[in-house]
Amino acid sequence: MPQLFLNNFQTQFIADVRAAPQTGAPASELDYGVLRVSDGAAGALLNPPAGGWYVLTAYKRNGSLETDYEILRVTAVDNSVIGECRLTVLRGQEGTAPRAYNSGDLLEMRMTAGGMREVVQTADPRLTDARAPTGVAGGVLAGQYPNPTFAQPMATAADLQGKVDKVSGKGLSANDFSDEAAAKLNGVATGATKNATDAQLRDRGTHTGTQAMETVAGLQAALDAAKQFANLTGKPTTTTGYGITDALNSKPVLLPAGSDLNLLPDENRIYDGFNFKNSPWGPDMWCYVETRAHTSPNYQYQITRLLTEESPVMERRKMGVLGFGPWRLQSAFGVQPISSGGTGAATAAAARQSLSVRQYAYTGLTFYVRSDGSDANSGLTDSPGGAFRTIAQAVYAANLYDRANVSTVVKIGPGNFSGVYVGASSAFGGNFIFEGSGQGVTNVEAVTGTSAFSIAACRVTIKNLSLVTAQGNINTYLILADHNCLLDIYDITFGGNGVASYVLMYSANGANILVGNITISGSFSYALNPTYAGRIYVSGQRTIFLNASCSGYFINATSNSVVAWANTTVTGTLGGAGAKFFAGSNSTINTGGAGTNAVPGVNAGTLTTGGQIS
């Protein structure tokens, strides 16, 4: 469906239009990808069919002067909202750039260069000349419907029947291959040899491939007979030099699966030592041949193995745990219980868990979180098959390491993500850095009862993302810092998704929040809320208000808490029925001498029970 047209169409915006998106979904963002115009347009603009569009020109007018042109392509029209008409548009078409417009600015359907290119140019005589072609023109029809003929004789379907396409470099003789002959030739492998002799077929040097054992007559029976102890040549017949009570001269009894030979009684073990001089393992490396033998009628066996000084058995012998002569040790090469000096585990990870220790991280760690990831992944690569889905899984994976001297970075991709608790289990770690993909691009959501970031007794940095309240939730805390934690935040947007938050930043029990450049968008009750010796510092930074509204106190300091709001550059205004500040119970607000006017808000603040502002 092509471009659609209307005569003399004009309308105006009824809401301000942004020049840049503020969310991760610009195509559906209201007042950027979806524009609101006068409902008078509803009678003229209908929702275009699939593939169709309108082209409108937006501009500003001051008297007779027009400025700020932007060409828009309208792909959908929504007349369902009473009092307005909503247009889904593609911004900045035909070389123009998205611009900001105010309510009352105009849109018109005008002629554009792009629109003209869509119009068929019927002035071309080749489209209007109805004369039949003359001369030799193969493939051109002549005559009148319904019985036209070719102007130049051509091959017909009957002539082409049975012909084959020409393939470069190939051809057929007059005697084509039959289907049966072609199938037979296709079945012959490349390099096949005609009438090969048995000697050639048995020679592995003349061909490749494998052959199943069961296809060789008598092979399995011959192997079974060859492995019988009684059929071995050169087997020992005396006990001299072997240290066992009798030479084993019959087939060993197979023990049940899981039997522990170390627990069988009357087991003899003999160690013969020999020394490697200047070996690859060291200048003076001792090795031992261990012979384990048991002669009970029900448990006849003999096991011989080579041990070095580094094996568990030899290490125990060197430490004096084991003596020479007959001895037993439960699972010397298996899982050693903690009570016997072992780890109680068969793997390094299980051993660390048994002993309550963590793997030491020698270098910094980086984990990735994506909206298309999975918590079953490793989190170590930035891809759908490598990244985690939740921030909580990244914190869990990091806390499996001892990160005392390194930093851990969690890179969070675009999308919406559930909140996370970073607690005392990270206290022995280095700095935890949570880095988003942009404000309004990465959104970490708080829900009722769970903060976007809840932090206790550790060091954390949060940057380059937005903290919001999830749809349908109330009384939320976007940041909750507790128990002497140290939190740095910068390049953060609080709100912006249209849902009000209760507290933006909460600090308690000696927690410290250091605030850098931030943006506050939308409604909230309290912005800076320290209590019980909590501390929040905003000094020499930038704070931007976007349609911000406070219903409580911008600063709410109680119970011996401290807020520093000094030398802060404020852009925009803070509205709402709330007040500037509340300071009580010996709490202090430090404005660097600027006084109460430095604190944003509409109504005056309150000082009570020892609260002060300086």
| Topology classification of domain 353-613 | Pectate Lyase C-like (2.160.20)
DSSP states along 358-391: -EE-SS-EEEEE-TT--TTS-S-SSSTTTSBS-H
* Phi, psi of 279, rounded to the nearest 5 degrees: -80, 165
**Token pair recorded at residue 408:** 């851990």
Pairing of strands 415-418, 442-446: parallel
Measured between alpha carbons, how far is 549 from 571 in angstroms, rounded to an integer?
Answer: 14
The predicted structure's pLDDT at residue 425: 59
Cα torsion through 465, 467, 471, 475, rounded to 10: 180
My answer on whether omega of the bond before 125 falls inside 30° of 0, hence cis, is no
Residue 159 and residue 204: Cα distance in Å, rounded? Answer: 55
The residue type of 369 is V
How many residues belong to the chain? 614
d(CA 88, CA 588): 51
Task: State whether residue 175 is helix, strand or coil.
Answer: coil
- Rounded Cα gap, residues 481 and 513, in angstroms: 7
Look at phi and psi of residue 558 and say left if phi exceeds 0, alpha if psi is from -120 to 50, else beta.
beta
> Which residue is listed with tokens 């280095």?
430
Given a cut of 70, the residues of the chain with pLDDT beneath it are 1, 119-162, 164-178, 191-194, 201, 204, 206-208, 226-344, 346, 348, 352, 356, 424-429
CA distance linking residue 399 with residue 427, whole number of Å: 10
Q: What is the pTM of this model?
A: 0.48
Structural tokens at position 221: 């029976």
Q: Give the whole-angstrom CA distance, residue 58 versus residue 19.
A: 12
Do 373 and 386 contact (CB within 8 A), yes or no?
yes
Q: Name the DSSP class of 447.
A: B
Half-sphere exposure of 327 (CA within 13 A, CB side): 15
For residue range 470-497, what is the model confidence (pLDDT) as tens digits? Answer: 999 999 999 999 999 999 999 999 999 9
Query: Is the CB of residue 396 less than 8 Å from the CB of residue 372?
Result: no
Residue 185 sits at φ, ψ, to 5 deg, of: -65, -35
Q: What is the pLDDT of residue 141?
A: 58
Residue 106, pLDDT score:
95
CA distances from 553 to 162, 221, 450, 569, 604 (A): 90, 91, 22, 19, 10
By C-alpha distance, which of 586, 581, 582, 583 is closest to 610?
586
DSSP-derived letter for residue 178 is P
Tell me: the pLDDT tens digits for 27-67? Answer: 999 999 999 999 877 778 889 998 899 999 999 999 989 99
Encoded amino acid at 559, one letter? S
Q: What tokens appear for 457 in the block? A: 């007794």
Close Cβ partners of 231 (under 8 Å, ≥ 6 residues apart): 225
